[in-house]
Structure formats: structure tokens, C-alpha cells
Amino acid sequence: MTDSPLTSRRSSQRRPTRPRWRWRIALSAVAVAAVVAAGTLAAPALAGLQIRVADGSAVEIGGSTSAVLVPEGWFIDRSRAGFLTVTTPDRSLAVEMSAAEDSPLSVLERVSAPLESRTDAAQVGRIREEVLASGVDIVHADVGPRAVAAALGEGPVVAVSAVVADDRTMAAYRRSMAEILEAVRP
């Protein structure tokens, strides 16, 4: 059986048809994967944009009326909602602050619990109550050799947790810690 010229011409003009929807699905999957990868890689970079060097001015603590006068040269980090973290210029002492409505002792207990596990401290040290030179009441305790938990104020309370780097002890940073605590205005 011989093909007629008309039949053979039609068959030679036919191209194999591939469903275009397969290509669209494949390209869509690649685009989604690219967006997810870009978002994953960009998140740490965007968090870094929220860190700045202090100029010695007052900074609001966690969306409250409380503020702290951050010493010039310290780092200010607002990457966690409701928290303010300030770090010494050598990045060895990090002080995290947030507003709280509980009593100072309740706040101290709440703040010290995660510090115990984070610093492998056996227990929270003796609780001390003082009045700072600024007139603000403070309740604080050492949490092992590398951390301090504190609560400042009576009405609005500022919860404070401070941790030094692994190779340091809090004793070396008492002056810096006192400087930042004196600068808090609950």
C-alpha cells in the first residue's frame, strides 16, 4: 500500500505534540522552589538589618513606655518582637529586656528559668533586692557564673536577662551590666 502524496505530506507536517501543561507545571515548580530558597537565605540577612550601633540615645523596650539609655557603641537588636537586646561592643555580654506586668519576683523567676538550662547553672543564686542610684527598685540574682536575671520597677516591670559568652564570666562584666541597668527607665 502506497501513501498518496496528500497523506504523506500531512504526516510529514505533523509534529509530535507535547502537552504544554507539563512544561508549565515544571516551570511553576522551579519558580516556587526558587522563591522558597530565596526566602530562606534572605531571612538571616533581614534580621541583621534590625541591628544597629547605639548613639547614646534612649531606646523603647518592647513596645512599652519603658526605655533604656543605651551607651554609645553598644549594639541594639530588635529582631524579636516585644524584646530589646543590647550587646557590648566586644559582643561578649548580651542583655535582653522586655516589658512585663507581673510582680518583680514573678518576673525574676520566669526570666531565670531559661537561663538555668541555657548556661548549665545548677541553681539560681541568692535573690537580692536593691534601689539603684537612679531610684529604680531592682530584684536580681546570679544564674551560674555566666548569667544574671533581674526585674526592674514596680508598676511596669522590665524583665532583664544577661548572658556572657562561653569563655567569659559575669564578674568581668559587672560594670557594664550595672551601667545598662542604671540606664533603664520602667
Domain spans in the chain, listed from the N-terminal domain onward:
5-47, 50-185
pLDDT value of position 68: 92
Q: Which parts of the chain register pLDDT below 70?
A: 1-19, 41-49, 116-122
pLDDT of residue 69: 92
**pLDDT at position 126, please?**
86
Reported in sequence order, the residue ranges of 65-156 that DSSP labels E, i.e. its strands, are 67-69, 75-77, 83-87, 93-100, 128-131, 137-142, 147-152
Provide the residue count of the chain: 186
Domain 50-185 matching CATH 3.30.870: the answer reads no
CB atoms within 10 A of CB 19: 8
